[in-house]
Amino acid sequence: MSDHSIAERSTYTEYHPRWLRRRPSTYWWLERRAYLSFITRELSSIFIAWFVVYLLLFVRAVSLGHARYLEFVVWSRHPVVMVLNVVTLFFVVFHAVTWFNLAPKAMVVHLRGKRLPASLISASNYGAWVVTTAVLLWLVLGG
Amino acid sequence: MADTITIQVARYRPEEEGVQTLQDYEVPCPKDWVVLDGLNYIKDRLDGSLSFRWSCRMGVCGSCGMTVNGEPKLTCETFLSEYAGGPVRVEPLRNFPIIRDLVVEIGDFMRKLVRVKPWIVRDHEKPVAEGEYLQTPDQLDEFKQFSMCINCMLCYSACPIYGLEPAFIGPAAIALAQRYNLDSRDEGSHERLEILSEHDGIWGCTFVGECTQVCPKHVDPAGAIQRYKLTAALEGLKSFVLPRSAR
Amino acid sequence: MARRSLEPVLWLLFSAGGVVSALVLPVLVLLLGIAFPLGWLDTPNYEHLSAVVRHPITRLALFGICVLSLFHAAHRFRFTLYDGLQIKHLNEMIGLFCYGGAIALSIWAGYLLWRLA
């Protein structure tokens, strides 16, 4: 296509001025609050992966008997593990909140020809979160 | 004190030096002046060598996009009084190669725009005698927001992915593709899907969302992209699972 | 061609995992990671906990939660490596590390939950 060749011809010739191209800095994500917020959200992935491991270890400890379960609880009281889990809580909540706030962008629901407002989609996501939390609390604590 | 304000302009004169330098100018600051007025004052009265693009001076042509105090803005819509006291730092739009002073190379976007086929694509055209393609107000609302794009490229300037990977097709191109995909008169979605689901197409987007924040026309490219990811993913899944029937 | 047809699937897994992890993990982190160890709540009757954990539906649900969350995390982390460290040219290695890791942990999860005592 000719426009591509025009670009090539005009890029660098002996008489064409040199364009200045600046590379983004390695710390580009510190330059704006929005970028920092974005990277924080992305880093939540590490803590989600950690918690999956922790969850599986928890389940295994429960299944190996009361004594092993109590040992696990003691281990999870270790400052390093505790701090890690507190940090993980922050990150998974951050992930959940940003996820529910952004969900309406991808999910456009039409009811009888009209688009449902974004706030309704967000609200129903938060509603689902509350219900799921309640169910899990009942499941784990109940009985 | 609001008589004058300092505008710091990032100069780049390739024939003189190979780096950017900041140059200060004192310009008057009447309350209805925008940054573009300041730049034109500099060019008319203070320093005729300053180069920058502008045209309609009313926010519809998309020519005057620049970085003002670190933010991508249309200089014709950004009031100097917002920065009372100053200085106002005006730099060329980020993420683009700089040709001179505040003028950036926009050919990359122009080529990407053409690639997404931003026009009505139909398998069969209706003959003129049969009349117009009719559209209800609701059908118009589906894509109207995305048609507001003025190609100002502030979104490309705000997008960190585009900054890191210039091959990324970018917010405006995808939003404009969606403008046509969602138009009830269009039948070209499958053609655009090919281009948009390439390696540097929509899948490079990580939903930072800054493109939507800086858009002067409230196009919401981030929303267009996420919505399209779902569409394209479901299409892609179909072709992955049922490769023959998808052809 | 292979790369192009894989992205949609990976994104769908990422999305599903995002929804599941957002709904389920916060309360689990609070309970299992913080409340129980610190004794904020009377840890539930061990018999009850054990019964819940061993139930086949629980194990299946846990498997689903773990696998989806792992693929969500892998996909997100892959892009964090691209954008954060700007090492996109190590594409293949990153893919292998992230998704390979998710697969490996998923296999461990499956084995663990299948062979629960």
Supply the Cα-derived Rg of chain B in whole angstroms. Answer: 21
Q: Which of A55, A73, A89 sits opposite C36 (nearest CB)?
A: A73
CB within 8 Å: C5 and B235: no
Q: Which residue of A has its CA nearest to B230?
A: A106
B206: chain C residues, CB-CB within 8 Å: 79, 83
Residue numbers in chain C where pLDDT is lower than 70 = 1-4, 43, 86-88, 117
* A38 neighbourhood in chain B, CB within 8 Å: 160, 206, 208-209
What whole-number distance in Å separates Cα of residue B146 and Cα of residue B221? Answer: 8
Mean pLDDT of A112-117: 75
Search chain C and give the residue with CA nearest A65: C50
Number of domains chain B is built from: 2
> By the 8 A CB rule, do B17 and B35 touch?
no
**Among partner residues A21, A28, A113, which is closest to B160 by beta-carbon distance?**
A28
Answer whether residue B107 shows pLDDT above 50: yes
Q: Which of C22, C50, C85 sits opposite A62 (nearest CB)?
A: C50
Question: Is the Cβ pair A89, C38 closer than 8 Å?
Answer: no
Question: How far, in Å, CA of A26 to CA of A18, rounded?
Answer: 24
Query: Which of B70, B104, B138 is the C-terminal boundary of a domain?
Result: B104
Evaluate the CA torsion angle B89, B92, B94, B98 in order and state its sign: negative
Q: Which residues of C touch A139 (CB under 8 A)?
A: 52
pLDDT of residue C11: 93
pLDDT for res B239: 76
A21-42 per-position pLDDT tens digit: 888 888 899 999 999 999 999 9
The answer to whether B103 faces chain A, any CB pair under 8 Å, is no
User: Searching chain C, which residue's CA lies closest to the CA of residue A130?
Assistant: C23
Buried b (16+ CB within 10 A) or exposed e, A45-74: bbbbbbbbebbbebbbbbbeeeeebeebbe
A34–B210: do the CB atoms touch at under 8 Å?
yes
pLDDT for res A6: 46
B-C contacts at Cβ under 8 angstroms = 42
Nearest Cα neighbor of A40 from B208, B158, C94 is: B208
How many Cβ atoms sit within 10 Å of the Cβ of residue B32? 8
Interface touch A102/B110, C-beta < 8 Å: no
CB nearest to C8's CB, from B164, B165, B240:
B240
Report d(CA A93, CA A97) in Å as an integer: 6
Q: How far apart are CA B188 and CA B115, in angstroms?
A: 13
Q: What does the DSSP 8-state code read for residue B66?
A: E
Q: Does residue B220 surpass a pLDDT of 50?
A: yes
Closest residue to B160, CB basis, from C6, C12, C83: C83
Q: Which residues pair with B91 in a beta bridge?
A: B67
Between CA A31 and CA B164 the distance in angstroms is 14
C-alpha span between A97 and A102 (Å, rounded): 9
- Which residues, other chains included, contact B77 with Cβ-Cβ below 8 Å and sequence gap of 6+? B34, B59, B216
Do B116 and B96 lie in one domain? The reply is: no
Contact between chains at C11 and B229 (C-beta distance less than 8 A): yes
pLDDT at C87: 67
* Domain shared by B9 and B99, yes or no: yes
pLDDT score recorded for residue A3: 46
**A84, pLDDT greater than 60:** yes
* pLDDT band with cut points at 50, 70 and 90 for residue A44: very high
User: Which residues of chain B does C8 touch, with a Cβ-Cβ cutoff of 8 Å?
Assistant: 197, 232-237, 240
Question: What CATH code is carried by the domain that includes residue B155?
Answer: 1.10.1060.10
Rounded CA gap, B69 and B10, in Å?
11
- Among B51, B69, B104, the domain boundary falls at B104
Written as six digits, the tokens of A126 are 């938060």
What's the rounded Cα separation, in Å, for the pair B148 and B125? 25
Between CA A65 and CA A70 the distance in angstroms is 9
Taking a C-beta distance cutoff of 8 angstroms, is the pair B67, A22 a contact?
A: no
- B214 and B178 in a common domain: yes
Task: Answer yes or no: do B233 and C79 touch at CB < 8 A.
Answer: no
On average, the pLDDT of chain B sits at 92
Q: What dotted CATH number matches A2-141?
A: 1.20.1300.10
CA distance linking residue C14 with residue C72, whole number of Å: 4
Kindly give, in sequence order, each residue whose CB lies less than 8 Å from that of residue A49, ignoring residues fewer than 6 positions away.
Answer: C69, C70, C73, C74, C77, C101, C105
Which residue has tokens 């992935």? A45
Q: Find the domain containing B201 and state its range.
A: 107-246
Is C83 close to B233, i.e. CB distance below 8 A? no
| Span B45-73, average pLDDT | 96
- Contact yes or no for B197 and C8 at CB 8 A: yes
Per-residue model confidence as pLDDT tens digits over B90-103: 999 999 999 999 99
Numbers of helices and strands, H then E, in chain C: 5, 0
Which of A 57-76 lie inside 8 A of B, CB atoms?
none
**What pLDDT score was predicted for residue B175?**
96
In chain A, what are the domain boundaries?
Answer: 2-141
Q: Considering B104, B129, B164, which residue would you say is the last residue of a domain?
A: B104
Q: Is B21 on the interface with A (CB under 8 A)?
A: no
pLDDT category at A13 given cuts 50, 70, 90 is: low
User: Which B residues 185-224 touch A at CB under 8 Å?
Assistant: 206-210, 213, 220, 222-223
Nearest CA in chain A to C66: A52
B contact chains, 3+ CB pairs < 8 A: A, C
pLDDT at A142: 75
Q: Which residues of chain C does A96 touch, with a Cβ-Cβ cutoff of 8 Å?
A: 21-23, 25-26
CB-neighbour burial class of residue C39 (10 A; exposed 0-12, middle 13-18, buried 19+): exposed
DSSP A43-96: HHHHHHHHHHHHHHHHHHHHHT-HHHHHHHHHHHTSHHHHHHHHHHHHHHHHHH
Instruction: Note the CATH architecture for domain C18-114.
Output: Up-down Bundle (1.20)
The answer to whether the beta carbons of residues A12 and A56 sit under 8 Å apart is no
CATH of the domain at B78: 3.10.20.30
Is the pLDDT assigned to residue A103 strictly greater than 90? no
3-state secondary structure at position B160? helix
- Chain C residues in contact with A24 (beta carbon < 8 A): 86
Residue B34 gets which letter from DSSP? B
pLDDT confidence of residue A17: 65
Q: Are residues B16 and B65 in the same domain?
A: yes
pLDDT computed for residue B245 by the predictor: 53
Nearest to A19 among B70, B97, B223 (CB): B97
Chains that touch C (3 or more CB pairs under 8 A): A, B
Helix-helix angle C2-28:A79-106, to 10 degrees: 120
The label of the residue with tokens 């996109």 reads C88
**Chains with ≥3 CB–CB distances under 8 Å to A:** B, C
Q: 3-class SS at B73?
A: strand
Percent of chain B with pLDDT over 90: 85
Asked if A17 reaches chain B (Cβ–Cβ under 8 Å), the answer is: yes
CB contact under 8 Å between C33 and A51, yes or no, is yes
Give the mean pLDDT of B179-184.
95
